[in-house]
């Protein structure tokens, strides 16, 4: 019987798919991620032929050394920067991910962060809970309109493209930067292409990041880029934490270099850069942009199907690398 190790329990629909196909599953029992040392200890077995990993699991040569018969790693995530894909290739290990299915959820969360910042929703909620509300005043938590603003999207793939479509109803102007022009976004949403990211940063009232984490996108937004942005601008990141230099962002928020930020991902996750949580002009959510039942179930199905297809000799979709 083929034995599969899961670094965490995924939704039941994926578990059932694997069990019904006769796989023996060994599921890490804790809700939180195992340390790398604990993961290696758990994987010390030649019995495992497959691995279902999460984005927080570092899958490198030491993992393959610990369990040398692993043939496939199904990453329960859109990204795969947690996996040493080149090392997997050397060892003949197939790596897959679960792209696309969480795009709508992340796009909706992105727009929710924009609205939370422009309406000062989170600040107002805390004000009420602390019992500070003494009655209506014309100057309490004055926000800013989303309508009429220029939204700069860096990356217009599945998620960035959906953000553009959602924003159509808000009466905003969409500008975007990507590796190439996207004629569909331009025709559907009236988006305008900016080949120079610096020019986009200067023009945008809200900058929203939708790029994968690669060497070229690490600290894509850094101290110099933050200084280019308008002092009234907001930054949204629902992509990957290290795309933003979080230490530089804290300083920019403290000094009002930019007006605020909405973050669902963090450079030092699960930790925050010093001082970030103490700032009132930032909205923080705990990496939950894709946390919709539909999205999580679909991700489980894709991960499980990759393993089923591999061992049944079918074409494996969503290979990476």
Checking phi first, is residue 219 left (phi over 0); if not, alpha (psi -120 to 50) or beta?
A: left
Report the alpha-carbon distance of residue 158 to residue 79 in Å, rounded. Answer: 13
Integer Rg of the chain from CA: 22
Report the alpha-carbon distance of residue 198 to residue 192 in Å, rounded. Answer: 15
Report the alpha-carbon distance of residue 8 to residue 54 in Å, rounded. Answer: 8
- Of 240, 246, 267, 296, catalytic: 240
Question: Is residue 162 annotated as part of the catalytic site, yes or no?
Answer: no
| C-beta separation of 199 from 231 below 8 A | no
Helix (H) / strand (E) containing 62: helix 61-66
Report the alpha-carbon distance of residue 100 to residue 147 in Å, rounded. Answer: 28
DSSP E strands in the chain: the ranges are: 3-6, 24-27, 48-53, 72-75, 94-96, 150-154, 173-177, 192-193, 206-209, 234-237, 260-263, 282-284
Question: Is residue 269 annotated as part of the catalytic site, yes or no?
Answer: yes
- Of 36, 218, 287, 292, catalytic: 287
Question: Is residue 165 annotated as part of the catalytic site, yes or no?
Answer: no
Report the alpha-carbon distance of residue 69 to residue 25 in Å, rounded. Answer: 15
Report the alpha-carbon distance of residue 314 to residue 321 in Å, rounded. Answer: 19
- Of 47, 108, 199, 269, catalytic: 269
Chain CA centroid to CA 197, Å: 21
Catalytic residues: 240, 269, 287
């Amino acid at each position: 019987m083929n034995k599969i190790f899961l670094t965490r329990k995924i939704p039941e629909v994926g578990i059932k798919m694997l069990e019904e196909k006769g796989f023996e599953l060994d599921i890490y029992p804790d809700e939180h991620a195992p340390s790398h040392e604990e993961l290696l200890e758990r994987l010390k077995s030649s019995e495992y032929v497959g691995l279902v990993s999460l984005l927080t699991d570092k899958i490198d040569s030491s993992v393959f050394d610990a369990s040398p018969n692993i043939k496939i790693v199904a990453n329960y995530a859109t990204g795969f920067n947690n996996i040493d894909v080149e090392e997997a290739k050397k060892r003949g290990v197939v790596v897959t991910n679960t792209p696309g299915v969480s795009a709508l959820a992340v796009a909706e969360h992105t727009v929710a962060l924009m609205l939370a910042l422009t309406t000062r929703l989170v600040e107002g909620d805390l004000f009420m809970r602390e019992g500070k509300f003494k009655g209506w005043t014309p100057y309490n938590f004055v926000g800013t309109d989303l309508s009429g603003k220029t939204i700069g999207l860096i990356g217009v793939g599945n998620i960035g493209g959906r953000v553009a479509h959602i924003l159509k109803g808000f009466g905003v102007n969409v500008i975007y930067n990507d590796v190439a022009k996207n004629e569909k976004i331009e025709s559907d949403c009236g988006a305008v292409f900016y080949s120079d990211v610096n020019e986009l940063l200067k023009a945008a009232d809200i900058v929203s990041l939708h790029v994968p984490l690669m060497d070229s996108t690490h600290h894509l937004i850094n101290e110099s880029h933050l200084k280019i942005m308008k002092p009234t601008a907001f930054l949204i990141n629902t992509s990957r934490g290290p795309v933003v230099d979080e230490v530089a962002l804290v300083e920019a928020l403290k000094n009002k270099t930019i007006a605020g930020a909405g973050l669902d991902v963090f450079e030092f996750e699960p930790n925050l850069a010093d001082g970030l949580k103490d700032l009132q002009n930032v909205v923080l959510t705990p990496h939950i942009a894709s946390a919709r039942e539909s999205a999580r179930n679909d991700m489980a199905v894709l991960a499980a199907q990759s393993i089923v297809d591999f061992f049944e000799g079918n074409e494996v979709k969503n290979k990476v690398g």
